[in-house]
Amino acid sequence: MADLCPVEKNKEYIMSVTDIGNDGEGIGHIEGFAVFVKDALPGEKIRVKITKANKKLAYGRLMEIIEHSEYRTEPECPVFKRCGGCSLQHLSYEAQLDFKTKKVKDALMRIGGFKNPQVKDAFGMDKPYFYRNKAQFPVRKGNQGVDIGFYAKRSHDIVNIDSCMIQNSINDKVIKIVREYITEENIEPYDEISGKGLIRHIVTRIGHVTGEVIVCIVVNGSSIPKKNKLVEKLLCIDGIKGILLNVNKKNTNVILSDITKVLWGRDYIIDYIGDIKFQISINSFYQVNPVQTNFLYSRAMELAGLTGNENVLDIYCGIGTISLFLARKAKKVIGVEIVEKAIEDAKRNAKLNNINNAEFIAGPAEKIISEVYSNGFMADVVIVDPPRKGCDINVINTIIEMMPKRVVYVSCDPSTLARDLKILSDNGYSIGEAEPVDQFCHTTHVETVVLMSRVQK
């Protein structure tokens, strides 16, 4: 190992930082060996103390910044250093966007094998704060009362907060009320190690256009004490439409179970993207940044190039957001999604908007798409918007067999995007300009939309 690893634990080195890792760490090289250092930024020369090293890479602690990056900024959030929610608030927003553009381009070159991929500058927000419409706050017993906040970086310790710079500020009130209720009623918060304690998480959803709010308390039990007291307190939240209890008794990192009870009101919010109205349940996927989503979907719509005569397949459709966006300009749209509740929402959303040419099917895309194809549905345009792991290979293979004119790929992970585009490109599709959209400001994540056009039969 000594031959392979040129750095030693507890020793200090001088290093230049050249890149940013997935968790926002600065990455540099010592004798060609990669070293990851939290809080360091590209363009900086630093003194680093090695804290951990293995055969492939090392981690170090930032001891001193010898030369500062011109893009280093003072984070707006007072708990940025400890909290695992954001990872780039110490980098100017312009530099964050440049990093995301580069991240997409690098992945397309390195993983996709594209020689000179065209990538637009990442599309950012005018005001990249308070943008999220969904919050999930873990609740734990703290040293001085109840801790409600976010997990610390690379840990399940809670960073206790009253407010968050990327969440809707309505959440500040929700946190305050639930904290008061837990304290006054002397309720035991959940303990991950023993699996004991009642209150695990607070989950909220807030409509960007409508201002509608639902608050869901996730419990390791079937009920909560003094339910009416909590409901009464939460009713003073502006826009409150539902107060829910999610029953999750499993010792798991999955936040919500399938069992949700309504304590008051209804179990969904209504919101709009463009002029389309959506009903959104607590469990369904819904893009977290409504302002950027509007732009993202408009780009997807434009790239789809619909004239009104096309059959469209929307794979990984969630609650039918993109499907319904496109349906007005298509002959027919079929949306496929694995979460049944989301498909129920999608069907309801079609009715809500008087859209009659959209059909939704619940099930794993890898199975459903080949059935749809065998039943004779030939898509002219396919939209895919998979989770981070990208498209299942059976989905890609069926798309290739189906030979749609255009495939619009919406992705939240440049690596799997590049992997999948390479397969399409090897099978008769040419890549268009990739368009990164900053859906997740102050984190390292980036959304991208790319058009693949069929060039041969």
Ligand X SMILES: C[S@@+](CC[C@H](N)C(=O)[O-])C[C@H]1O[C@@H](n2cnc3c(N)ncnc32)[C@H](O)[C@@H]1O
Give the footprint of ligand X on this chain (CB under 6 A): 285-287, 316-318, 321-322, 336-339, 342, 364-366, 385-387, 412
CA distances from 35 to 39, 54, 82, 243, 428 (A): 13, 10, 20, 47, 40
DSSP structure class, residue 121: P
Q: Give kind and range of the element (H or E) at residue 78.
A: none
Q: Give kind and range of the element (H or E) at residue 407.
A: strand 406-411
Nearest position to ligand X, beta carbon: 318
> Shortest gap between Cβ of 407 and ligand X (angstroms)?
14
Catalytic, out of 164, 216, 412, 441: 412
CA distances from 399 to 124, 315, 326, 416 (A): 31, 10, 19, 17
E strands present in 274-376: 276-281, 311-315, 332-337, 358-362
CA distances from 9 to 49, 51, 59, 113 (A): 8, 5, 9, 36
Q: How many whole angstroms separate alpha carbon 121 and alpha carbon 415?
A: 18
**And the tokens for 29?**
């090289």
DSSP structure class, residue 190: P
Give 3-state DSSP helix, strand, coil % of the chain, rounded to 5.
25, 35, 45
| 412 labelled catalytic | yes
> Shortest gap between Cβ of 363 and ligand X (angstroms)?
7
> Shortest gap between Cβ of 261 and ligand X (angstroms)?
22
> Shortest gap between Cβ of 411 and ligand X (angstroms)?
8
DSSP structure class, residue 188: P
Which residues face 410 on adjacent strands?
449
Residue 339 or 403 with smaller CB distance to ligand X: 339
**And the tokens for 52?**
């951990």
> Shortest gap between Cβ of 306 and ligand X (angstroms)?
17
H-type helices in 321-428, by residue range? 321-327, 340-352, 365-374, 393-402, 414-426
CA angle 279, 284, 288 (to 5 degrees): 85
Q: At 33, give phi and psi (nearest 5°).
A: -100, 130
Residue 31 or 275 with smaller CB distance to ligand X: 275
> Shortest gap between Cβ of 276 and ligand X (angstroms)?
12
Residue 69 or 289 with smaller CB distance to ligand X: 289
> Shortest gap between Cβ of 218 and ligand X (angstroms)?
19
Question: Which residue in this structure is represented by tokens 């008769």?
Answer: 428
Query: Contact 297/322 with Cβ under 8 angstroms?
Result: yes
CA 105 to chain centre: 20
Task: Judge residue 129's burial from the number of C-beta atoms within 10 Å of its C-beta, 0-12 exposed, 13-18 middle, 19 or more buried.
Answer: middle
> Shortest gap between Cβ of 134 and ligand X (angstroms)?
12
Write out the catalytic residue numbers: 412
